[in-house]
Amino acid sequence: MIYLDYAATAPMSRAVADTMYEVLVNRFGNPSSQYSIGLEMKRQMESWRETVAAALGCDVKRVYFTACGTEGDNWAISAACWQNRHVGKHIVTTAVEHSAVLESCRWMERQGYEVTYLRPDQKGNIAAAQVLEAVRPETAAVSVMMVNNELGNVYPIAEIARGLGAKNPKTLLHTDAVQGFLEVPFSAEKLGADFVTISAHKIGGPKGCGALYIGPRVRNPRPLLAGGGQESGLRAGTEATAQIAGFAKAVELRREGLVQKLAGLAELRAYAVERLSAIPDMELIGDGGAPHILAAALAGWPSQNIVNDLGSQGICISAGSACHQGKPSHVVAALGLPKRTAGGVIRLSFGPETTRADLDECAAALRRHHDQRMPML
């Protein structure tokens, strides 16, 4: 199998799986229990939190474990609106956010909020000035992703944060950094965002685990879940210790030689661009500042047919976000591309295990699809 869909999920290493197994079987104490194995697990939980906080570049007390990126996005938006409920009922976001953010905003619309959805240019770019222009005195929250999960575009979060501080200091800023964490360099504390969402399974950790950074401007954040007081009283429920252990181990492994890994991904992406550009009717989509995501379109050939054809040959690519479950991409729709281009958009995404040989095989399969099948768009 040739796996080129790391933006959907990354394969888990044996080291991460072994770490989780050890916790599941031999170190199963509840961190809230007051005897030895419980107290030891509580200490271990804080050690894992320190590992994630170090990778995020923030104080350990600012990191709260969640069940996934979607949970973190929902929590951040609701907490921002709760804190600023007396400021106003307006939210600014983009039309190309992950569905977790868009659906959270639509839920807030049903609570009486007005939401401004900013459209990108045809390259998928959103400028900081565009975001700041949409901010009003009654804007409670701004949510802009760090890296677009379908295009690979990197958005100017730090610039937006600085502009918000000057224009409307009470407005809280959230960024979904699920595709940016350990893929593009950033420090949560220096970034300026008030909420930063990350997920374990995008970096080779387990599914069912993530984290939310909550910055110092968030006062008495609204709890996500009420109950036993876990996660400093903000997210009740017995901690998923094995998943968190796997998350921390994946962070450790990803950070080893990270500069070289990211440089290697950038080289692979450049090579993929070279190979795909040689295929007739292939168009590059987006500006792709992230090193691990490449969007392209075989204009005239339906993307789902391409994915199915390559999948039958053991080559895994996608036609957008896995979370769409086969539905048309709202991200591609927002670009305003011609129909034959928009209908043929595919995404390749890479990880540390990806090789040039993998990309050669993929490019050859795409060329065969072009040459042996008639365009249908």
What angle do helix axes 99-110 and 69-83 make, rounded to 10 degrees?
Answer: 40
Instruction: Please give the single-letter amino acid code of residue 153.
Output: N
Structure tokens at 330: 């709202």
Which pairing describes strands 172-176 and 139-143: parallel, antiparallel, or unpaired?
Answer: parallel
Instruction: Please give the single-letter amino acid code of residue 234.
Output: L
| 323 catalytic per annotation | yes
Name the active-site residue from 58, 68, 316, 323: 323
Cα–Cα distance between 147 and 291 in angstroms, integer?
Answer: 10
Backbone angles phi, psi at 230, to 5 degrees: -65, 165
Indicate if the alpha-carbon torsion angle 178, 184, 185, 189 is positive or negative: negative
Distance set, CA 134 to CA 30, 125, 137, 208, 224 (Å): 47, 16, 10, 35, 28
Backbone angles phi, psi at 29, to 5 degrees: -60, 145
Structure tokens at 198: 């990350």
Cα–Cα distance between 335 and 208 in angstroms, integer?
Answer: 31
Continuous H helices in the chain: 14-25, 36-56, 69-83, 99-110, 128-134, 157-167, 188-191, 241-255, 258-277, 303-312, 330-335, 339-342, 356-372
Cα–Cα distance between 128 and 159 in angstroms, integer?
Answer: 6
**221 conformational bin, left if phi > 0, alpha if psi -120 to 50, beta if neither:** beta
Count of residues in the chain:
377
Q: What residues have CB less than 8 Å from 185, skipping those under 6 apart?
A: 262
The set of catalytic residues is 323
